Amino acid sequence: MSIMRISLMTVLIAAAATGCTHTPPKKASALLGNTEPHTLPTGGGHTPASESASGDLPAKHSAALCLVMAEDLEKADKDAEAVAYYERARELDPAITERAGRRLAVLYDKIDQQAKAMTEYQELLKKHPKDAGLLNDLGYSYYNRGQWAEAESHLLRAVAADKTSKRAWVNLGMTQAQLGRGVEAVASFEKAVSPAEAQANLAFVLATRGDRDGALAAYRRALAMEPTLPVAQAAIMRLEQNGPAVTHPQP
């Protein structure tokens, strides 16, 4: 942790009296080419001298410190705790409502508060209907719930808005594979990864659907194209031994 981050954390502790505190709730209990993390945009609030005159930390400054804490907690996979800090940050400073909302939409999904996640996504998309990142995240949310048609609809919008989004193309390929459209799935995967990796991604989805033979065939096609592809080698070994498929990196 850098000296600057330690300093911010020290100030955060000192800011307890101004509102950036909470009682931490209990924490609620994959594919090639799709490993980009969700990231919080950088930036911070500037505290005008007039606001700093009082002895208490001003709300905007406290909100900025809450964002620092939320970001650190999110990076540490403490999602429920991060949610509480993001919520507090936007209570303190409505100007960061959208910034916090983008993270809350993803985190609500991760802690299984789907109604709240959907509210955040819908509010954000009213303002940014062609935001590829938002459309991708919402599409992936639908994917995780097994709502393939809704997932595909939003992911198609995502790649239309940004044809270079590897995450959106991989998520679209996953969805098309779940819908039984393997040829389309591979074509989508190939927008983000190599042809061999595209076959491995298809195989992974087929394995999750219980199609062991289809998965083996796709993994073997992957090895025919790239004989040293580790994920395909390991997955074939597992599947031939009737074990579970090797887990690919999650999006």
Q: Closest Cα to residue 166, out of 185, 191, 141, 146?
A: 191
- CA–CA distance, 249 with 59 (Å, rounded to integer): 39
Asked whether the predicted pLDDT for residue 77 surpasses 90, the reply is yes
> For the segment 237-250, what is each residue's pLDDT rounded down to a tens digit?
999 887 554 555 44
Asked whether the predicted pLDDT for residue 13 surpasses 70, the reply is no
- CA–CA distance, 230 with 239 (Å, rounded to integer): 14
Asked whether the predicted pLDDT for residue 53 surpasses 70, the reply is no
Q: What are phi and psi of 212, to 5 degrees?
A: -65, -45
Number of residues in the chain: 251
DSSP output for 42-57? P------HHHHTSSSP
Q: What are phi and psi of 165, to 5 degrees?
A: -75, 100
pLDDT in the model for residue 58:
87
Domains of the chain in sequence order: 1-29+56-127 (1.25.40)
State percent of the chain over pLDDT 70.
74
State mean pLDDT over 212-221.
Answer: 97
Q: How confident is the model at residue 223 (pLDDT cuts 50, 70, 90)?
A: very high
pLDDT in the model for residue 122:
95
Asked whether the predicted pLDDT for residue 16 surpasses 70, the reply is no
